[in-house]
Amino acid sequence: MDFYTKMYPKAYFNNIKDVSIEFLQSHNIKGLLIDVDNTLIDYNKNILFGVKEWIDNMDKEGIKLCILSNTNNKSKVENVARYLEIPYIYFAMKPLKFGFKKGVNKLKLPNKNIGVIGDQLLTDVLGANRTGMYSILVKPINDQSFLQAMEFCQIFPKYDVPFIKVKTSRIEVKINTGDILYIDIANRTTRIHLINETIKVSGSFKEIPNHY
């Protein structure tokens, strides 16, 4: 698996609550490593509505759970873990394998039976794919523009049009879709990562067909 392929999740859901026990069972997933920021809690540290019931249901169905967060704020992760009644790992340094190995030790499951749920391509998805786990991307709680980016990306490294136009802070830019490595969200800004630069998008995408 090359680097480009490792950037793409094996599954995508609108939020963590949409991940069903049936889906996990169909992919032989017996444990989950779950991100915190923008996956379980929003920017104001509010727990996503209904997620406690989702966690309890997964536990009843025998799915092992553990929080895997990059934050070095131990108390924040600890508070979430205590409320959800699941173990946690903080300062995981995703996508490095260090944190994922600690997660394996917590869950006591083979890598192939572990799913990783998070909202970031560069940390959660890349790290999961590098360690042979099942990567599940979810839309960030606070980021509406993410869905648009992922719909455009279609989670695959192929595009239906050769070019797109996007608005930056000052100008409109024409982009060759063949130069796009991946699209992600940071600080509520959609970022298109190209081979030689990163473009921050302030408006919507405009597709340019061949005859344009």
Give the model confidence (pLDDT) of 48-98 as tens digits.
989 999 999 999 999 999 999 999 999 999 999 999 999 999 999 999 999
Which tens digits make up the pLDDT trace of 106-140?
A: 999 999 999 999 998 889 999 999 999 999 999 88
99, two tokens: 């944190």
pLDDT at 155: 42
- Residue 156 has what pLDDT? 40
Residue 132 region, left (φ>0) first, then alpha (ψ -120 to 50), else beta?
left
